[in-house]
C-alpha cells in the first residue's frame, strides 16, 4: 500500500492485532479477556502464511504492510501476535508507526525460571529460532541451563486447517516433542502463536508433568499497561471484534469460527 492509499475501513480507537494466519487468535483471546470493553480488529495474513519459512525481506514487507494498514485506519495500538514477525521486523514497524506496539516473543525467561530438570525447549518457526532475538534471550537467561531449540514444520499448517488432533497431527507433534522429553525437557515454550491451539493434544503426548508456556496473557497485560499509560482505555459497555484476512475469506471464516468458538464474519483486507 502506498502512503497515499488508505483502507476503506475506519477503526478509530480500536486495537489492531495481527498474525500470519489464525494463530494470533490465541493472543486475541487473552486481549479480549483482559480488555472486554475495547473494540478489536484482527488481521490474519493468510494469503502469505506461513511466515516461518519465508525470507526476512518478505516477512518484513508483510509486517509493514499489515501494520501500516491498521495504523492508517486509525487503531490506537497494535499487538503483533506473531513471534516470527516480531523477531524479524518489529524494529522496522516501530520506526514507521507512532502508536504503542506490543509484540510477542518466545517466553524463554519464565521457562528457565520454572524448570526443575534444567532442560527446556523452545518450539517455534525456523525463522524465529534463527533470529538474533532468540540468541540474545538464550544468552541472557540460559546460564546453567540447557535450552533446546526445536522447529516444528507442519504445525502451523495443521492449525490453519483447524486440524488440532487428527492422527496425522498427533504424529506430527510426537515427531518433534518425544525426542525432547527423552533429553530431559520438563518445560516447553510455545514460541509460535499457532501452537497454543495444539495444547491439549500436546499435553496428552508429553504428560501432565511437563509445563507448556504461552505468553499470551503476559502480552495482554503489557498492552493493558501501555493503554493505561497513554490514557487510552475504553469506558463503554462492550467491545466489538472484527476479523480480516488476505486469504480465502470462506476458508478463514470457517477456521476462525472454529478456533474462536463463535460464528465469526471475516472480511477481506483491502
Ligand atoms: N504464528 C506465528 C508465530 O508466532 C507465525 C507462524 C508462521 O506463519 O509460520 O511465529
Residues 77 and 141 in one domain: no
Distance, CA of 147 to CA of 140 (rounded, Å): 12
* 138 carries an active-site annotation: no
Based on the domain organization, do 177 and 84 belong to the same domain? no
**Does residue 40 share a domain with residue 128?**
no
Tally Cβ neighbours within 10 Å of residue 13. Answer: 13
All three cell numbers of 204 = 496428552
Q: Are residues 195 and 131 in the same domain?
A: yes
- 190: domain CATH number is 3.40.50.1860
Task: Report how far ligand 1's centroid is from the alpha carbon of 24 (Å).
Answer: 8
Residues 210 and 231 in one domain: no
Asked whether 192 lines ligand 1 (CB < 6 A), one says yes
Looking at the structure, tell me whether residues 191 and 141 fall in a common domain: yes
Domain count, the chain: 2
Q: In terms of residue numbers, what domain contains 242? A: 3-104+217-268
Instruction: Tell me, yes or no, whether 236 and 202 share the same domain.
Output: no
Query: From first to last of its 270 residues, what are the pLDDT tens digits of the chain?
Result: 444 444 556 798 899 999 999 999 999 999 999 999 999 999 999 999 999 989 999 999 999 999 999 999 999 999 999 999 999 999 999 999 999 999 999 999 999 999 999 999 999 999 999 999 999 999 999 999 999 999 999 999 999 999 999 999 999 999 999 999 999 999 999 999 999 999 999 999 999 999 999 999 999 999 999 998 766 666 566 899 999 999 999 999 999 999 999 999 999 998
Of 214, 230, 257, the domain-final residue: 214
Q: Is the CB of 51 under 6 A from ligand 1?
A: yes
Place of cell 538464550: 138
Does residue 206 share a domain with residue 252? Answer: no
Domain identity same for 121 and 210: yes
- Mutate which of 156, 213, 216 for ligand 1 pocket (most atoms within 8 A of beta carbon): 156
Q: What tens digit of pLDDT does each residue of 101-143 get?
A: 999 999 999 999 999 999 999 999 999 999 999 999 999 999 9
Cα separation of 188 and 247, whole Å? 31
Picking from 173, 197, 214, the residue at the C-terminal end of a domain is 214
Residue 152 is a catalytic residue: no
Nearest Cα neighbor of 36 from 200, 234, 226 is 234
Q: Which grid coordinates are listed for 36?
A: 472486554
Among residues 176, 193, 214, the one where a domain terminates is 214
Give distance in angstroms: CA of 164 to centre of ligand 1.
16
User: Are 114 and 52 members of one domain?
Assistant: no
User: Measured between alpha carbons, how far is 209 from 187 in angstroms, rounded to an integer?
Assistant: 9
Q: Tell me how far apart the alpha carbons of residues 58 and 66 are, in angstroms, rounded to a whole number.
A: 12
Using CA atoms in the order 107, 109, 113, 118, what is the torsion angle rounded to 10 degrees? 90
Do 113 and 208 sit in the same domain of this protein?
yes
Instruction: Say yes or no: 76 and 161 in one domain.
Output: no
Amino acid at each position: 500500500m502506498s502512503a497515499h492509499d488508505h483502507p476503506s475501513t475506519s477503526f478509530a480507537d480500536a486495537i489492531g492485532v495481527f498474525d500470519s494466519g489464525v494463530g494470533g487468535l490465541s493472543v486475541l483471546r487473552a486481549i479480549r479477556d483482559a480488555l472486554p470493553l475495547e473494540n478489536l480488529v484482527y488481521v490474519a495474513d493468510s494469503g502469505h502464511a506461513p511466515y516461518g519459512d519465508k525470507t526476512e525481506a518478505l516477512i518484513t514487507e508483510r509486517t509493514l504492510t499489515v501494520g501500516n494498514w491498521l495504523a492508517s485506519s486509525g487503531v490506537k495500538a497494535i499487538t503483533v501476535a506473531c513471534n516470527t514477525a516480531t523477531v524479524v521486523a518489529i524494529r522496522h514497524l516501530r520506526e514507521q508507526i507512532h502508536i504503542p506496539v506490543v509484540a510477542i516473543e518466545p517466553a524463554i525467561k519464565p521457562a528457565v525460571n520454572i524448570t526443575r530438570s534444567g532442560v527446556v525447549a523452545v518450539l517455534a518457526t525456523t525463522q524465529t529460532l534463527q533470529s538474533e532475538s532468540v540468541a540474545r534471550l538464550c544468552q541472557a537467561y540460559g546460564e546453567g541451563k540447557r535450552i533446546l531449540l526445536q522447529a516444528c514444520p507442519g504445525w502451523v499448517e495443521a492449525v490453519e486447517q483447524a486440524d488440532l488432533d487428527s492422527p496425522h497431527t498427533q504424529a506430527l507433534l510426537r515427531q518433534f516433542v518425544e525426542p525432547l522429553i527423552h533429553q530431559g525437557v520438563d518445560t516447553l515454550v510455545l514460541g509460535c502463536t499457532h501452537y497454543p491451539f495444539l495444547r491439549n493434544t500436546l499435553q496428552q503426548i508429553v504428560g501432565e508433568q511437563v509445563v507448556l508456556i504461552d505468553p499470551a496473557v503476559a502480552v495482554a497485560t503489557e498492552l493493558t499497561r501501555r493503554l493505561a499509560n497513554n490514557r487510552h482505555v475504553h469506558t463503554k459497555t462492550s467491545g466489538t471484534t472484527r476479523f480480516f484476512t488476505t486469504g480465502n475469506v470462506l476458508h478463514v471464516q470457517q477456521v476462525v469460527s472454529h478456533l474462536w468458538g463463535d460464528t465469526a464474519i471475516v472480511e477481506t483486507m483491502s
